[in-house]
Amino acid sequence: MKMDKMTTVKIRARKGREKIVALTAYDFFTAKFLDSVGIDMLLVGDSVNMVLYGKPDTLSATMDIMLAHTEAVASAAVRSLVVADMPFLSYQVSWEEAVRNAGRFLKESGAAAVKLEGGCEIAPLVSRLVGMGVPVLGHIGMQPQSYHKYGGYCLQGETKESREYLLKSARSLEEAGVFAIVLEKVEANFTKVITDTVSVPTIGIGSGPFCDGQILVVNDILGMFDGFKPRFARQYDDFRSRIKDAASRFARDVREGRFPEKKESFFEEEG
């Protein structure tokens, strides 16, 4: 496996050649392990708010939370490209705030790029950020920060209006200079239309097989959640059971006097 540092330019150049593999990451050690097995891109998603802080949605994620987790992930990533998710209200209020907040991810936390949710309406802002040297990953389809607007985490690209909006948005983000576009929960055949239309890679989540890459939330692939798992996520392990099992065995050992043993203790006579 080639272990040269991933850049936004290399991700961009993967279009039509090699699939892009991406996962979310929120902490140092998970990021280190993901980096070591060649995950191309680590997204410090605002999903951190749900999977690490137990909040019902992503809306209350703050710049402070996102900067701290991005710094942890960027410190661990040797090869993977680290992308920071811009939280709700960090780029919608004014261009001035958007520029400052986007810049902070590169300047203070070591990210190489930022992700913004939104279509053609944010293309001028994207163009400004890219113009000042901040690479941008687009995110269209189901946008979790706008779930109140959709009335839920609904599939996108089913109606004529939705398809027109998605295509227009993908084109305008491409023109604004994004290096790739995340397509979240877009009808699979229409995803192919978008992928075939734009010259930048599409990275799908819940959008079927016709993308240039795939991204999932790391907690979903590890089985590190309680309750709802999206249908589109494939679970590769069951950390929930493993954690419960390890903690239960520890509790039993302590209660039954089997922990600590001599080898796990320091007695004076040993020095």
Residues 217, 219, 220, 222: which binds ligand KIV (CB under 6 A)?
217
Does 45 bind ligand KIV (CB under 6 A)? Our answer is: yes
Backbone angles phi, psi at 81, to 5 degrees: -80, 130
Q: How far is CA 43 from CA 10, 40, 71, 154, in A?
A: 16, 10, 12, 22
Toward ligand KIV, which CB reaches closer, 49 or 172? 49
Toward ligand KIV, which CB reaches closer, 54 or 271? 54
CB 46 within 8 A of CB 94: no
Q: How far is CA 160 from CA 90, 118, 187, in A?
A: 31, 19, 12
Q: Strand ranges (DSSP E) for 173-249?
A: 180-184, 202-205, 213-216
Least distance to ligand KIV, CB of residue 245, Å: 27
Does 63 bind ligand KIV (CB under 6 A)? Our answer is: no
Q: How is residue 210 written in tokens?
A: 């016709």
| Rg of the chain, C-alpha, whole Å | 21
Does 6 bind ligand KIV (CB under 6 A)? Our answer is: no
Toward ligand KIV, which CB reaches closer, 165 or 232? 232
**Catalytic one among 158, 184, 261, 270?**
184
Q: How is residue 69 written in tokens?
A: 């987790």
The verdict on whether 264 is a catalytic residue reads: no
- Name residue 83's beta-bridge partners: 43, 113
- Name residue 20's beta-bridge partners: 213
Does 46 bind ligand KIV (CB under 6 A)? Our answer is: yes
Query: How many residues line the site for ligand KIV (CB under 6 A)?
Result: 11
Toward ligand KIV, which CB reaches closer, 61 or 198? 61
Does 85 bind ligand KIV (CB under 6 A)? Our answer is: yes
Site string for ligand KIV, 170-189 (x = CB under 6 A): ------------x-x-----
Q: What residues line the site for ligand KIV (CB under 6 A)?
A: 24, 43, 45-47, 85, 182, 184, 205, 215, 217
Catalytic residue set: 184
